[in-house]
Chain A
Amino acid sequence: MKKGLVRAALSAAFVGAFVGMSAFPGSALAAGISNDVVKIGVLTDMSGVYSAIGGEGSVTAAKMAVADFGGTVLGKPIDVISADHQNKPDIASTKARQWADTDHVDMITGLLNSGAAIAVQKIGTEKKMITMATGAGSTALTNKDCGPYGIHYVYDTYSLPKVAGSAIVQHGGKTWFFLTADYAFGHSLEKNTAAFVKSQGGKVLGQVRHPLATADFSSYLLQAQASGAKVIGLANAGGDFVNAVKQAREFGIVQGGQTIAGMLVFLSDVKSLGLDVAQGMEFATSFYWDRDPASRAWSKRYFAKTGAMPTMDQAGVYSATMTYLKAIKAAGTDDPDAVMKTLRGMKIDDFFSINGHLRADGTMVHDMFLVEVKKPSESKGPWDLLKVIKQVPGDQAFMPMSEGTCPLVKAGGGAGTGGY
């Protein structure tokens, strides 16, 4: 106990010193725009497992934000560049370094994979470059790996299961069995969901772990079926989630009375499954295109450009880019410390984010939504896929900062928090 206190004090002092050294190298903040251009880099999965979630759609969203902002900020042009991080942390780091050192990129957004996002956020800390992760899920980004310039913008592996897991238990899904992708992301999703299930009085009967990118889930599904659990929780994403749901229906598991619950579901997954297979599923999301007039208006413009309705990641890229540009304008400079300070003082409210604000640990807290997939008979068009069941205020959905482990918070906040 005592030892822990001493260690906390020491690490706080160390981090405090570190932030003091790195965040304010000069004394005054520079005014105006560095290199006479604001460069935004969209670093995402362009070709792999998650490319339908982000990919070209994210690049389009960023370019839309720049065009809507007017193409210039403080009289200087705004540029968007993009690259594929291939879901590999090493490739993501190399690209982020090159962007920081030779291309003078001011902000990186996208980051569709937790490993890649953590690596790039570390480079952001080192190079004083703002990162706004819209696709990565891991809560490590705002806990042990948090950084003074790192922002986690759309969702995380705490808020999704908190909203969806709790609701499903309350609706009668008392016993659970997990199918979990066997890497850090899946494990953390499973662990968090299990905790919320238990806190609501539910029980976890077992779990089976599958390798990433599994083609055949049938034998795992049969084990889940044999467990007799009311709910089969899928702690995986993208192609794995789609395959598991499809096969659960093929083997008559859903028809047998068990419910399938995805812990991280994107609109593109529901579209790929079709309503016949996905109907009735409840999950949590930070955005649905048909949620309200503002989200509808924006999404229709996006649809006209891409031929698909946006996922929460793609909508998040637009919102992050727009919010960043507004902060530059308000701060009168693109200096990262000044911009972070402005961001933390802003209310972030737009078609994507409702009641949003940026916390000292880098979490962009905003309202989350519980949605249900419509029955084919309820759907009025090819993209009329979900209905919003419940809106959950951000501070009830996201992890309280007091429970987090971000050293910046203990040391008195990240860059631009003014030390409180």
Chain B
Amino acid sequence: MHLSLQMVLAQMMLGLNTGAFYAVLSLGLAVIFGLLNIINFAHGALYMLGAFVALLGYNKLGPLLGVPGLHLNYWAALLVAPLVVGALGMAIEKTMLKRLYKVDHLYGLLLTFGLALILQGVFTNYFNVSGTPYGGKPEILGGALNLGFMWFPTYRLWSIGLSLVVCFATWFVVERTKLGSYLRAGTENPALVQAFGVNVPLMITLTYGFGVALAAFAGVVAAPIYSVSPIMGSEMIITVFAVVVIGGMGSIMGSIITGLSLGMLEGLTKVVYPPASNTVIFFMMIVVLLVRPAGLFGREQ
């Protein structure tokens, strides 16, 4: 494998694409962990669910309503899938997670892991594991752009840009607005915030809904790039957890920066030594945990 500058740049670009997905997914995990102290293992399954809402909305909405030619198009799916999955998330929080806030973190992890297995099992039963291609990619995002060092598909460029916008918008809301300050205060001292007249239980429900809506959003963005399959989430979630651990649990900016840079690290590894590309992130995780147990951006408790 010869290392040319062109090759490195091209693989960095691809890495940025993967990294943008890591960033959006780990961001959702970080927000949920920050406020609920729940390690949300269902995150990957809800990402998969978001992709399926887009796929089924595109393929089955017309037949379902008896209107031939009716599709839930891509742009609508970008809104509908996060809303549907976010609503499901809020129902999960209200009926199940709520009961676990007083017990150990581990119970939340086990519950969400169980949910992930159920969701994945149900979908595997009805859908092809090798994936179903999503046909709803907008015409306007077809084709490829010449970046000078490579041809890069327009849609992938769009997916990077859109993911980054969503990441930074989330960061801005949490870190720079009044709503965000309630959230942050709620994580520090819920009783006090409640005393000021803020409805903390509702805030928690909405936060969980928002976190999983981010996962569903990532699923819709991923659908035109990869095939939509029941196992797409489980393949992603382990890596994303490593990203969260490296960045530091609960740090918003940390998870964004770590997600992007680890995606690029993975891309570079694919040039230098492809077999290690699956494990390089976990290797990083070990190194970081040895040096800074709270993660690169985490605060020591």
List of A residues within 8 angstroms of B277 by Cβ: 219
Contact of A250 (CB < 8 Å), options: B10, B153, B278: B153
Contact-residue bracket for chain B = 35 or more
Chain B minimum-CB-distance residue to A53: B130
Per-residue CB contact flags for chain A residues 213-254 toward chain B (1 = under 8 Å, else 0) read 101101110110010000000000011101100100011100
Binds B, one of A43-51, A183-191, A317-325: A43-51
A222 to B274, CA, bound (A): 12
Instruction: Answer yes or no: B65 CB below 8 A from chain A CBs.
Output: no
Contacts A47-B125, A208-B274, A250-B153 given; does A215 touch B227 at CB 8 Å: yes
Can you offer 20 A-B residue contacts whose CB atoms are under 8 A? A47-B125, A213-B129, A215-B227, A216-B18, A216-B225, A218-B14, A219-B267, A219-B270, A219-B271, A219-B277, A222-B150, A223-B1, A223-B274, A226-B4, A242-B133, A242-B227, A243-B131, A251-B152, A252-B151, A255-B151
Interface residue from B4, B130, B270, B274 paired with A239 (Cβ < 8 Å): B130
Q: For A242, what are the chain B residues with a Cβ–Cβ distance below 8 Å?
A: 130, 133, 227
B274 engages A48 (CB within 8 Å): no
How far, in angstroms, from A256 to B130 measured CA to CA in the complex?
28
Contact flags B216-248 to A (C-beta < 8 A → 1, else 0): 000000000111010110010000000000000
- Known contacts A206-B1, A239-B130, then 17 further A-B pairs from the complex at CB < 8 Å, ordered by chain A residue: A48-B130, A211-B278, A213-B130, A215-B226, A215-B227, A215-B229, A215-B235, A216-B18, A218-B17, A220-B270, A222-B150, A239-B129, A239-B131, A243-B226, A251-B144, A251-B152, A251-B153
CB proximity of B200 to chain A, nearest CB, Å = 40
- Whether the pair B278, A226 counts as a contact (CB closer than 8 A) is no
* A238 pairs with B144, CB closer than 8 A: no
User: When chains A and B are docked, how far (Å) is the Cα of A48 from the Cα of B151?
Assistant: 33
Interface assignment of A272: CB less than 8 Å from any CB of chain B = yes
Given contacts A48-B128, A239-B131, A250-B144, contact A219 B153 (CB under 8 A): no
- What separation, in Å, do the CA atoms of A109 and B187 have in the docked complex? 61
Roughly how many angstroms separate A30 CA and B20 CA in the complex, as a whole number? 68
Most buried by B among A219, A243, A255: A219
Q: For residue A256, which residues in chain B have a CB less than 8 angstroms away from its CB?
A: 151
Question: Does any Cβ of A come within 8 Å of B124's Cβ?
Answer: yes
Name A residues whose Cβ lies closer than 8 Å to a Cβ of B. 47-52, 206, 208-209, 211, 213, 215-216, 218-220, 222-223, 226, 238-240, 242-243, 246, 250-252, 255-256, 272
B7 located at the interface, meaning its Cβ lies under 8 Å from any Cβ of chain A in the complex: yes
Residue picked from B10, B125, B130, B152, most chain A C-beta under 10 Å: B130
Q: Given A52-B128, A252-B151 in contact, is the A222-B227 Cβ separation under 8 Å?
A: no
Distance to closest chain B CB from A250 (angstroms)? 4
User: B2: CB under 8 A from chain A?
Assistant: yes
| B144 lies within 8 A of A216 (CB) | no
Across the interface, do A51 and B227 meet the contact criterion of CB distance under 8 Å?
Answer: no
Residues of chain A within 8 A (CB-CB) of B14 are: 216, 218-219, 222
B11 at the interface (CB under 8 A from A): yes
* Residue of B whose beta carbon sits closest to that of A86: B129
A216, B277: Cα distance in complex, Å: 13
Closest to B152 in A: A251
User: What residues of chain B lie closer than 8 Å to A52, measured between beta carbons?
Assistant: 128
With known contacts A49-B130, A52-B128, A250-B144, A216–B226 Cβ distance under 8 A: yes
Contact with A along B1-45 (1 / 0, CB 8 A): 110101100110010011000000000000000000000000000
With a cutoff of 8 Å between Cβ atoms, the chain B residues found around residue A220 in the complex are 270, 274
Do residues A251 and B131 form an inter-chain contact, with CB atoms below 8 A?
no
**Which B261-289 residues have a C-beta within 8 angstroms of A?**
267, 270-271, 274-275, 277-278
Contact check, A239 vs B227: say whether CB atoms are below 8 A apart. yes
Contact: B129 with A222, CB < 8 Å? no
Residue of B4, B125, B274 with most partner-chain A CB within 10 A: B274
Establish whether residues B130 and A238, one from each chain, have CB atoms under 8 Å apart when the complex forms.
yes
Residues from chain B with a CB closer than 8 A to the CB of A252 are: 144, 151
- Asked whether B7 lies within 8 Å of A222 as measured between CB atoms, the reply is yes
Residues in B with CB closer than 8 Å to A219 are 11, 14, 267, 270-271, 274, 277
Write out the residue numbers on chain A whose beta carbons fall within 8 Å of the beta carbon of B125. 47
CB contacts (< 8 Å) of B151 on chain A: these are 251-252, 255-256
Q: How far is the CA of A239 from the CA of B227 in the complex (A)?
A: 9
Contact, CB under 8 Å: A226 / B150:
no
Give chain B residues whose Cβ lies under 8 Å from the Cβ of A50. 130
Residues of B with C-beta under 8 A to A226: 2, 4, 6-7
Known: A47-B125, A47-B129. A243 touches B227 (CB 8 A): yes
Chain B residues, CB < 8 A from A206: 1
Bound form: Cα–Cα A48–B2 in Å: 37
How far does the alpha carbon of A238 sit from the alpha carbon of B2 in the complex, in Å? Answer: 30
- For A48, the chain B residues whose CB sits under 8 A away are 128-130
Residues of A within 8 A of B124 (CB): 47
| Most chain B Cβ neighbours within 10 Å, of A51, A222, A246, A255 | A222
Distance in angstroms from B132 CB to nearest chain A CB is: 9
Chain A residues, CB < 8 A from B2: 226
Residues on A with C-beta less than 8 A from B18 are: 216
Task: Enumerate chain B residues within 8 angstroms of A251, measured Cβ to Cβ.
Answer: 144, 150-153
Given A47-B128, A215-B227, A216-B225, do A272 and B133 touch, yes or no (CB 8 Å)? Answer: yes
CB-nearest residue of chain A to B270: A219
Contact with A along B83-111 (1 / 0, CB 8 A): 00000000000000000000000000000
CA distance A390 to B153 in the complex (A): 36
> Which residues on the A side are within 8 Å of B235 (C-beta)?
215
Give CA–CA (A255, B133) in the complex, Å: 22
Q: Which residues of A contact B6 (CB under 8 A)?
A: 226
- Which residue in chain A gives the minimum CB-CB distance to B3? A226
Query: Which residues of chain B are near A250, meaning CB under 8 Å?
Result: 144, 153, 156
Which residue on chain A has the smallest CB distance to residue B146?
A252
Interface centre among A47, A215, A218 (most CB of B within 10 A): A218
CA distance A195 to B266 in the complex (A): 33
Minimum C-beta distance from B216 to chain A (A): 18
How far apart are the CA atoms of A50 and B128 in the complex, in Å? 9
Contact of A222 among B11, B153, B226 (CB under 8 A): B11
> B10's contact among A47, A222, A243, A246, by CB below 8 Å, is which?
A222
- 7 A-B pairs closest in CB distance: A239-B130, A252-B151, A49-B130, A215-B226, A219-B270, A250-B153, A48-B129
Distance of A220 from chain B, by nearest CB (Å) = 7
CB-CB under 8 A from A216, the residues of chain B are 14, 18, 225-226
Cα–Cα distance between A242 and B229 once the two chains are bound (Å): 14
Q: How far is the CA of A242 from the CA of B128 in the complex (A)?
A: 14
